[in-house]
Amino acid sequence: MTDRQQPALSSEEFREAQRELGLSDADLAFVLGIENPQHIRRLKGREGSSTHREVQPWHVRLIRAYLVGYRPGDWPGNDGEDRS
């Protein structure tokens, strides 16, 4: 890992971040730029399973920014649109 890379998030840490942010799978996919909410379920899946996917460094960076309070203008709830 270089100095600029974000440390990885485990599946449990990813699930906890989603709980803290209060986002559905569809809304979390939206704010992370993931087209298919199914991918969120793969990121939260049991590590070592055939369907599990690793959380990418750019997603970790966004999640960490969201956890400290950053909210883009199109944050779910800011526009009244429900993506679930």
Q: Evaluate whether residue 83 is within a structural domain.
A: no
Q: How far apart are the C-alpha atoms of 37 and 12, rounded to whole Å?
A: 18
Answer for the pair 60, 13: CB distance below 8 angstroms, yes or no.
no
Answer for the pair 36, 47: CB distance below 8 angstroms, yes or no.
no
Answer for the pair 5, 63: CB distance below 8 angstroms, yes or no.
no
Q: Evaluate whether residue 42 is within a structural domain.
A: yes
Q: Evaluate whether residue 76 is within a structural domain.
A: no
Burial class (CB in 10 A: 0-12, 13-18, 19+), 72: exposed
Q: Evaluate whether residue 16 is within a structural domain.
A: yes
Look up the domain containing 32 and give its range: 11-67
Taken as a whole, the chain contains a residue count of 84
Per-residue tens of pLDDT for the chain, all 84 residues: 555 565 689 999 999 999 999 999 999 999 999 999 999 999 999 888 999 899 999 999 999 999 999 999 999 987 655 444
